[in-house]
Structure formats: C-alpha cells, structure tokens
Chains A and B, each alone.
Chain A
Amino acid sequence: MTKYLFKRLLQLIPLLIGISLISFFVIHLAPGDPTNLFTTPNVKPEELARIRANFGLDKPVIIQYFYWLVNILKGNFGTDLLTGRPVVIEILERLPATLLLTGSAYILTFLLAIPLGVLSAVKKNSWFDKSVTLFSFAGMATPSFWLALILMLVFAVKLDWLPAVGMYTFTLKDSPWFIRAWDVCLHLILPVTTMTLVSLAGLTRYQRAAMLEILNKDYIRTARAKGLPERVVIFKHALRNALIPIVTIFGLSLPDIFGGAFIIETVFGWPGMGRLGVQAVFQRNYPLIMGIVMFSAFLIIIGNLLADLLYAWVDPRIRLGEKKQ
C-alpha cells in the first residue's frame, strides 16, 4: 500500500506541471498585456517600460513561466489586481463556504444515488426502475442554473418559504450562534437541492449499471442456485461488489461538482470561491483567475488521489495484488 501511494504521488508531478503550463498559456492568450489594465494610453513609453520590467514582462515567455512557477512553489500566487491583497488569502477566505456547499451536495448525492441505483437494478423494468431512469435523463438534461432559477421562483419568490440569495441574513448578525447556524442551513437548502438534483442523475444511472452487471455474474447465480434467500444474495453478495466501482466515481465526479459551484454560487450569491472566480473573470483579474484555476485543479487532483486510494483499500484484489509483487 505504501509503495502504491508513493507511485501515485510521483505521478502527480507531471500532472501538476501540465496543469500549470496550460494555466500559464491561457493567461498569455490575452491580447495585449496586463499593464493595459492599470495604465492609461497616455502614459510615457519609458514609464511603461519601467512598469513592464517591474512585472518581468520584458523577459521571454519561458523565463516568465519559470518565475511564476517558482513563486507558486513558494505559495505566492500574486496579488489581486483590485484589492491588492494576496490571491491565496482571498481564496482561502472563500474556500470554507464552497466546501460547505459542495460537501453537503456531494454527500447528499451519494446517499440518494446509491440506494436509488441499487433498487432500480434489483427491480429492473418495474415502474420504479422506469421512473428512476426517466428522472435520471431529465436530471442530466436540465441546465443547473435554470433549475436554480425555477426553485428560486417557486420556493423563494412565490411561496416565500426560503431565502433566495446569500449565506446569511444581515439582520441576524448579532444573534446567538445557533440562530445564525440555522440561518445558514436555511440558505443552504436551495443551492444544495439544485446541485444534488443535477448530479444525482448520472450517478444513479452509473450505480444501476454497476449493480446490473454484478447481478448477471455467475457467482450470483450460484448463490441463488444453492438456495440462499434473495435478501442475502442482494445485500451480502451483490451489493458489496457493486459499491466498488462507485468509489472511482467519488473522484471522477469532483470536477463536475466543483464546476457546478461556479454557476450555482453565482446564481445564489453564495460567497464562495466559485462566485469569486466568476467575478474575477468579469474583472479580468488575471492573478485571481489563475490562482483559482490552479487551486481548483489541485483540489480535484487530491480528490482523485483519495478516491484511488480508497478504491485500492476497498478492493482486496488491488490491495493483495500489490503485496504479491
């Protein structure tokens, strides 16, 4: 297991270099250069040259990449062009809100997708299975931001049951902590519901397919043939094996959930990293954009790594296979 972990960690290095290269060249796609952002056209040429030298923009691109990389390794992602604060601080401040939102949606999705998928595989072609399948297709075809608008329209605007936007109610800021915590929960309901409904669809289908595949295996037929009760066959023999492929999906669905946060946070005015990113895009705030691209890519890679390790841990074939070598 240690050897496996070490191998996986080594594989991260080229991946991170590739990500940083793509990120860096995306920023260099920009026509003109960043000095356009804070200089006026009538700035003196020698003044402009000085500013460009200050930013290292007079050097060749590959040298600039190298400087940038060294800075990133030191944890220096540059400063926000508008507020002048370090990008790392800005991102870390917003990260808890994003993790709360995506984390809740993530957990809820898996808690619902696994039983729905398993049950519809066990009751294949029943009305339950058919409605789950139809619901899955509907979920995959629904634009998340539109579902957000509709939920907002029904539950916040028409019925007025839940707050539409934000994370806190401003007037409650001096209340005791449990009232404020409850307030955050109320604000969480609509965005979490949106994210869960959208990501639930694909996962349910995946879990259904995984379970169906296992149910067709010879050892399930053997288990049935030797007269085991159906309950034991499903829960002890089939379910445990059908859960293994889902672990990979833990990792693979991370980019989707994170990507969803950019849109959902913007629609619901949720003060997280996603909304910060969309704002940065509109401000053409390059250091902040690059910081968020690198940061979310990094989180996704770590998530994938954890999922792979979990996979190796739950699947004895991988764990023991490593030992044999």
Chain B
Amino acid sequence: MLRFIVRRVLGAIPVLFGLSVILFLFLRLLPGGGPAVAILGQHATPQLIAQINETQGFDHPLYVQYLDYLGRLFRGDFGASVIDGRTVAESFAIRFPATVELTIGALIFAVGLGIPLGRLAARHPNSWIDGVVTAISLFGISIPVFVLGYTLTFFFAVQLHWLPAFGQIDPRLNVPPVTHFAIIDALLAGNWYVVDAVAHLILPSIALGSIPLAVITRITRASVIDVSNEDYVRTARAKGLTDRRVNSRHIMRNAWLPVTTVIGLQVGALLAGAVLTETVFTWNGVGSWVVTSIQNHDYIVVQSLILIFATIFLTVNLIVDVGYAFLNPRIRYS
C-alpha cells in the first residue's frame, strides 16, 4: 500500500513541474509587448514599466527568472497582486474557505440526491421512474451553472423571497470573520446566525452541484444494475436473503467502487464550476477571484491561481486513487 502511495505521489511531481514551466511562460510571453505592458496596459509610462520590470525581474534572462520563480514557489511565495499589493497567499487564505464551503455544499447536494436517485432508477430499470431520473440527469449535464443559478435566484429569491440571492451571509449581522468559513464564523457568533449562513449556501450549492448530481446519478444507476446481474447476487437471493440484506451487503458494497471514483473526479468539475458559480452569486471565493484578476489583467494572480487549482485537483485525485486502492484490493496488488 505504501509503495502504491509513493508511486502515485512521485507521478504527480513531473506534472506540476511541467505546469510551472507553462505558467511561467504564460506570464513572460504575454502577447502585446511583454508582461509589464500586459499588466499595466498600453498607456503605462516608461518609468512604471521599468519599475515593474525591476521588481518582478522581467529583464533577467528567462532561465534565471524561471529558477527564481521556482525557488519562490518552494518557499510558498506565489507573488502579489499588482492591483491591491496583497500577496496571493494572504488573499487565498481569506478566500479559499468560501470556495471550500461552496464545494462541500455542492457535493452534499450531488451525493445526497444522486445516489438515492441512481439506486431508485436501478431498482426499476426502464420504468417511468427510470425515465424521470434519466431526464433529470440529462438536464443536469445540459444546463450551464449560470443559467441554473439565475433561474433558481429568480424563483426562490426574487419571486418567493425564501432564500437570499447572493453573498455568504447578511452583512447587517456583522459576523466577525474568524475562520473565514461563513458557517463556522456564524456558529461562533451565536444568535442562530448560522441559519442565515446556511440559507445563503443553498442556491449556489444546487447550481454548482447540478453536473456532479447528473454524473453521480448515472454512474450509480449503471453500477447498481451491473452488480445486480452478478451471479453472487442471484445466489444470495436464491439462498433466501431478504431484499434489504442483498441490497446492502451484496449489491451496494460492490457498487460503491465506481461511484467513489466518480465522486472524487467531480471535485475537479466543482473547482472549475466554482469560477462561474461564484460569479453568479457574488461569492467571495477563489473562483470569482480568477475572474476579477483576469478582468484586471492581474496576470501574476491568474498564474498562481491556475497552479493552485491544479495542485488541489491533483491532490484530490491522488486521495481518491489511494482510497480506491484501499477499498479495492484488486488495484493495490496489480
């Protein structure tokens, strides 16, 4: 098992190196007169350009710049925003909790609804129930998060006033930011403020969770049907075991394997989807930060955020692979 983990961790390292080279070149080879002009705009004064070249080291030879960049990455220095001067690490620490909250919310929605729906459809294959479930998942993968987000906002916030339309918590509550997780901060503040924080999380979670919901539903359905046709399931039934016991002990135990893998893979889709969802719901996380940084030509931030997103994505995939090997001995020993 340890060898498997070590092998997988070592496999991720060249990928991150490769990505660091590409992202390094992304910033240095920006079209339109080099990085300084791209960051400052066409009307920058020569003094400003000279200044940024000086501070960022853009006038050094490329290989020196790359080694310097790599050295800073190893020290956890991801550069600073040219807009507000804050370091990426500093802003990331404030914004990342919001993205984590949103991602967990979306996962709870997708897994909590997707697995029961998939099992339901698998129990009645080719029935009208199956048809409805298939239609839901088709819709889920076909609707962009921003279209679903605004549709939900229109019905549940604008028309019905049941849920808030944007933000993580009502600013009038003056909840002091301690952990930057809105729900935890609200819990710490007491007064049932947490209800407000959870209410803010519902619509974004549904919007972001729609694609994972569709994928998880589909794979659960397929996996359960697949396992249900196995000989050992027939044997179990023939032995006279109750339906419940066959379902829990024989079918679901084996059907879980592909489902867990897919859930892990969906984390990547969630990170990418957060970029759009956070923009729709003015959610102050890392996703909306990517968008504002691009709009502000804050390329150093963009560069670092893509690298951070990829690192998180690779790490999650690694955990999923290890977890899968843990659940399924056939993988571990091959």
Partners in one complex: no
Name A residues whose Cβ lies closer than 8 Å to a Cβ of B. none
Name B residues whose Cβ lies closer than 8 Å to a Cβ of A. none
